[in-house]
Structure 1
Amino acid sequence: MTESERRILLGRVTGAFGVRGEVKLESWTEPRTAIFRYQPWCLRDARGGERELRGVRGRDGGKHLVAHFPGVADRDAAEALRGTEIHVPRSALPPPKPGEYYWVDLEGLRVRNREGADLGTVSHLFATGANDVLVAHDGERERMIPFVQPQYVVAVDFDAGVITVDWDPDF
C-alpha cells in the first residue's frame, strides 16, 4: 500500500442514538466535527470486514457526535455498528501546518539523541493532557519521551526518517 493509500483511523462508533438509526461517534480529529469532512469512510468491523461509506451526515451532540449513516434506518441496525472503526485514506487529510505533525506520520521514524545514540523506533504517541508523549522501542526497552518542542524534540527530519531528541539514553 502506498503512502497516499494508507488508511488512518479517525474515530469509531460507540453505540446507537435514539430510535431512527443514528449512531454516536468518537472522533479523534481536531475539531472533532472535522471527521465529517473526510469522506468516503472505510468502516472496519471487529472481524476485519470493511466497506466504503459515503454521504454521512452528523452534528455535535454535546458529549459525543451524532451521525446518520445512509442505509441505517433503525436502532437495531445502528447498535450493530458499535465498535466499528472509521478510517480514511491518508491522502484525504490536509497537509499539517509547519511545526505540526500527524502522529501517524511520525510512527516508524528512528529516534536519536543529540549525541547520535539510537533510542529506537517510534511505535506510537499518546496524549496525557499536559503534553503528547512519543513512545520509542529499541527491541529491549521502551522509552517515553515528552513531545515538547524544542525542549525535548529538537528536530523531525522526514527525508532522513529521524527524530532528534534531547534525551538521556539511560532514562
Structure 2
Amino acid sequence: MTSRTRPSTQDSVLLGALTSPHGVKGGLKVYSYTNPIEGIFGYPEWLVVTQGQTRTMRVLQGRPQGKGLVVFLEGVDSRDDAEALAGAEIRLPTEQLAPLNANELYWYQLEGLRVVTVDGQTLGRIDHLFETGANDVMVVKGSDDSIDRRERLLPYISNVVTDVDLDRGELTVDWDPEF
C-alpha cells in the first residue's frame, strides 16, 4: 500500500543516515529507511544534513557490507572526512521520489495526519509507521483534540483504513476506540 520512507519536511524526505566511518579511505556505514534497504543507492545525489548544514553529495559507490550498507561519497577521501559526517541525515528532495501508482502513498505523506473513526471520534495523529511482514502498522499518538492520550497501533489495511484525505490532513478508520 505504501512505500517505506521516514519523516519529511515539505521539500525533502529522510532516506537514512550516515552512521560511522568504514575503513580508512572515506567509506561510511549507512542506515537506510528504504525498502529494500539497497534502494537508497538508486538516488545518485543525496542531501546530506549535518550540524544544521545541508549539502548535495554525489554517490560514487554503494554496496551491501555484511548486514548493512557502505557508501563512498564524492569529496570524502579519508577516515577523518568520514568521521565529520557520522550521524548526518540522508535526505532527498520530494520531487525526486519515484512516481507512484494510483492509490499509493509514501509513508511520509501519512505521518502527521489526524486519525478519526468512521463515527467521527479523533484517535490522535500518525506519528510513524513500521513494517511487520504481514502488513504496515500506524503508530497513532493521542493529541490535544483526541478522545484520550493513548497510543494505538493500527494496521494499515483496506478493511481498517476507509479513507485518506491529504487535503484535509485526515485518515478515517473503521476501528473501535476501546480496542
TM-score, normalization by structure 1:
0.83
Distance in 2 (CA, whole Å) between partners of 1:107 and 1:25 is 23
Identity %: 43
Relative distance call for 1:17 and 1:4 in structure 2 (3 A) is closer
Distance in 2 (CA, whole Å) between partners of 1:143 and 1:99 is 27
User: Per-residue deviation at 1:76?
Assistant: 2.1
Relative distance call for 1:75 and 1:15 in structure 2 (3 A) is same
User: Per-residue deviation at 1:126?
Assistant: 3.0
Relative distance call for 1:52 and 1:126 in structure 2 (3 A) is same
Moved more, 89-98 or 139-148: 139-148
User: Per-residue deviation at 1:10?
Assistant: 0.3
Partner of 1:34: 39
Correspondence 1:12 to 2:17: yes
Unpaired runs of at least 5, structure 1: none
Relative distance call for 1:120 and 1:146 in structure 2 (3 A) is closer
Distance in 1 (CA, whole Å) between partners of 2:130 and 2:154 is 10
Match for residue 102 of structure 1 among 76, 101, 106: 106
User: Per-residue deviation at 1:5?
Assistant: 5.6
The amino acid that maps onto 1:165 is: V
Correspondence 1:165 to 2:173: yes
The amino acid that maps onto 1:109 is: L
Correspondence 1:52 to 2:70: no
TM-score, normalization by structure 2:
0.80
Match for residue 25 of structure 1 among 24, 30, 43: 30
CA contact (8 A) 1:145 1:152 kept: no
Partner of 2:121: 117
The amino acid that maps onto 2:65 is: G
User: Per-residue deviation at 1:128?
Assistant: 4.5
Partner of 1:149: 157
Moved more, 103-112 or 135-144: 135-144
Aligned alpha-carbon RMSD (Å): 2.4
Relative distance call for 1:127 and 1:100 in structure 2 (3 A) is same
